[in-house]
Amino acid sequence: MKKEILTVKHLQKTFDNHGKKFAAVKDVSLKIHQGEIVALIGPNGAGKTTTVSMVGGFLNPSSGQVKINGHDIWKSKHFDHSGIGVVFGGELGFYGRASAYDNLVFFANLNKIKWRQQRSEIQRVLKLVDLQNVANKQVWTFSRGMYQRLHIARALLGSPSLLLLDEPTNGLDVEIAKEIHGVLQKLVKNTGVAILLTSHIMSEVEALSDKIILIGDGKVKETGTVSEIIAKSSVHHIDRPATLEESYLAFAPELRREQ
Ligand SMILES: Nc1ncnc2c1ncn2[C@@H]1O[C@H](COP(=O)(O)OP(=O)(O)OP(=O)(O)O)[C@@H](O)[C@H]1O
């Protein structure tokens, strides 16, 4: 049995905006094991990003538990980020005139990686995302795909056991999205890192995930592998298997927010 990396139990988040309460996450429980890719899917406003933010330590839960490697991250006063790498994505976040290597030195310092270990650690993460041959190139020259790979490399500094990716290929064209999928699959295979991602792109979820968690109205509505979710949706065709997108659409009414 593979090691349990992330355990989330009955997570809840209620926002209070000037006395007006809104329960964004009502009841989310999930588990991720070493080397697993798990996708959170659901309609806009379902509570996916709020969940990921609580797992990543950016937002404190109203109640519930988040454990990384058995350690309750919200129990201790000082949140220990070392087990988690967050991929922020987008075209910001790096200094364009500096090289990929020098950008990563900046983040290695933030991560408190000892200077003696920095060189080998930066080379390790650049290799994992296949950027080792452009380590000394200025980042402004990078393509969108290379930029996204550098975001992943940054998140891998310090060898976290869990990577969080909120819509990892948002705004990227199909070809670059495929490139990123390949990087993530290779990463999981080579390092055993666990991945929690959110996505609206069903082909991406189908290609990457070992497990899917369907979220609606701030609650987990279904959990299963791609084929289990398709089977549960009861969408059938005589001439071909149902797609995840068709099955997701069949679940859509159940996922809407209760008024
Ligand atoms: N700080 C906040 N104060 C009040 N409500 C918030 C706050 N942050 C998020 N929400 C609300 O909580 C709900 C869940 O938002 P969240 O961003 O987690 O959804 P999501 O599933 O990630 O949606 P999307 O797919 O659009 O990214 C939404 O209705 C959102 O407006």
- The residue whose CA has the least distance to atom 4 of ligand 1 is 15
Residue 217 Cα, ligand 1 centroid: separation in angstroms?
11
Task: Note the pLDDT tens digit of each residue in 11-51.
Answer: 999 999 888 999 999 999 999 999 999 999 999 999 999 99
Tell me whether strands 194-198 and 162-166 are parallel, antiparallel or unpaired. parallel
- Within the chain, residue ranges assigned H as helices are 48-55, 100-110, 115-128, 144-156, 174-191, 202-208, 226-233, 244-255
ipTM score for this prediction:
0.96
Phi, psi (rounded to 5 degrees) for 60: -85, 140
**Cα of 24 from ligand 1 centre, angstroms:** 6
Ligand 1 pocket, residue 170 CB under 6 Å = no
Query: Is the Cβ atom of 48 under 6 angstroms away from ligand 1?
Result: yes
- At the topology level, CATH places domain 4-255 in Rossmann fold (3.40.50)
pLDDT of 5 above 90: yes
Quick one: pLDDT at residue 51? 96
pLDDT in tens, 80-125: 667 899 998 777 889 999 999 999 999 999 988 999 999 999 999 9
Give the contacts of 100 (CB within 8 A, at least 6 positions apart).
Answer: 94, 126, 131, 134, 135, 136, 137, 139, 142, 150, 153
Contacts of residue 246, Cβ cutoff 8 Å, sequence gap at least 6: 233, 235
Ligand 1 centroid to Cα of residue 259, in Å, is 15
Is the pLDDT confidence value at 136 over 90? yes
Rounded CA gap, 219 and 235, in Å?
23
Q: How far is the centre of ligand 1, averaged over its atoms, from the C-alpha of 50 (Å)?
A: 6
